[in-house]
A and B are shown apart, each in its own frame.
Chain A
Amino acid sequence: MTDVRDALYVAHRSDGTIARRPMSPHLQVYRFQLSMFLSIANRVTGIAASFGTLLLVWWLVAGATGPAAFDTVQRAIGSPVGLLVLFGWTLALVFHTAGGVRHLFWDAGYGFKLPDVRRNGIIVIATTVVLTLLIWGIGLSVWAGAPMAASGAVPAAEAPAPTTTQPAGN
């Protein structure tokens, strides 16, 4: 009797003939490669970006709740831990986006040759670093110029009940 796991390795080509699927690489056996790292990183950043959506929902719900709740979430995001989480979320999102574009090119049938795979992998890493730093560079300079933010590490440090006042600038 054959190993039942063999059943999982049988696939059908589009012309109906059967083929044996390749086995997944063993991480313990394979030498580290860039494409291996990028593949794992795409999944890890996707999961990380998913948890980051909690921040988005919290921000939106706080905005819908009222000025005090919105002030709380703005302070939390503006705290050192909040900024670290936001930076991590930005990094994960930018990488997942750049890596996702690479996957879309593959899906369209481009960039499969080994030198291409290596080159577009490096492009993904370079894009991630440059875009993340660019977003944070512009973001921090805008934030520093925002009202009240220059005096402390808290963005949007408005009074808890701003009914008519609107911050100047922008």
Chain B
Amino acid sequence: MSASKGDIKVMRSQLGRVRGLGAAKNGVEHWWVERLTSIALLPLTIWFVVSVIGLLGAGHVRMIHWVGQPVNTVLLLALVLMTFHHMQLGLQVVIDDYVRGPAHLATTLLNKGAAGLLALFAVVAILKMAFWAPAI
């Protein structure tokens, strides 16, 4: 049954209200984590840009040795994890805004899957270079 408060039409039934149906109740976490990852990415991105400028023209050996420095390994891993988490959250908002019907689930899974796989590729590559560094 719809109830009316002033000129605002409330179309939610009393039963739906009692059962707590409606929002998925994880919107705040999505919003909050998007902000937290963005704050983490500020110093990480600045560090990364400065580091890449220092690495311009570097060959493979210098690249491996750079990644192999423990501080660089850790910061690179942090950068990659924060980047793909933030990216996936941001793209999901765009998907929620524009994609309707069954395509919504498909694009959501594609977004989460691609972000997860890219993050794994990057993490494995960083770790492989880090453990490779002492050998060359």
- Asked if A and B are interacting partners, one says yes
A10 with B8: CB separation less than 8 A:
yes
Q: Which residues of B contact A143 (CB under 8 A)?
A: 56-57
B52 vs chain A, min Cβ distance (A) = 8
CB-nearest residue of chain A relative to B5?
A18
B60 with A158: CB separation less than 8 A:
yes
Inter-chain contact total with CB atoms closer than 8 Å: 131
Chain B proximity mask over A42-72: 1 for CB below 8 Å, otherwise 0: 0100110110011011001101101100110
B8 with A47: CB separation less than 8 A:
no
Report the separation of the CA atoms of residues A162 and B11 in the bound assembly, to the nearest whole angstrom. Answer: 70
B53 with A142: CB separation less than 8 A:
yes
Report the separation of the CA atoms of residues A161 and B83 in the bound assembly, to the nearest whole angstrom. Answer: 32
**B30 interfacial by beta-carbon distance below 8 Å:** no
Interface size class of B (residues with CB under 8 A): 35 or more
Report the separation of the CA atoms of residues A7 and B128 in the bound assembly, to the nearest whole angstrom. Answer: 53
Contact of A2 (CB < 8 Å), options: B2, B39, B42, B80: B2
B57 with A156: CB separation less than 8 A:
yes
A53-B83, A135-B49 known; A158-B59 Cβ under 8 A = yes
Q: Which residues of A contact B91 (CB under 8 A)?
A: 46-47, 50
A6-B11, A63-B67 known; A56-B59 Cβ under 8 A = no
Chain B proximity mask over A13-55: 1 for CB below 8 Å, otherwise 0: 0000011100000000000000000000001001101100110
**B45 interfacial by beta-carbon distance below 8 Å:** yes
CB-nearest residue of chain B relative to A7?
B11
Report the separation of the CA atoms of residues A100 and B10 in the bound assembly, to the nearest whole angstrom. Answer: 35
**A80 interfacial by beta-carbon distance below 8 Å:** no
Q: 6 A-B contacts, Cβ less than 8 Å apart?
A: A43-B94, A57-B118, A57-B122, A63-B63, A142-B56, A156-B58
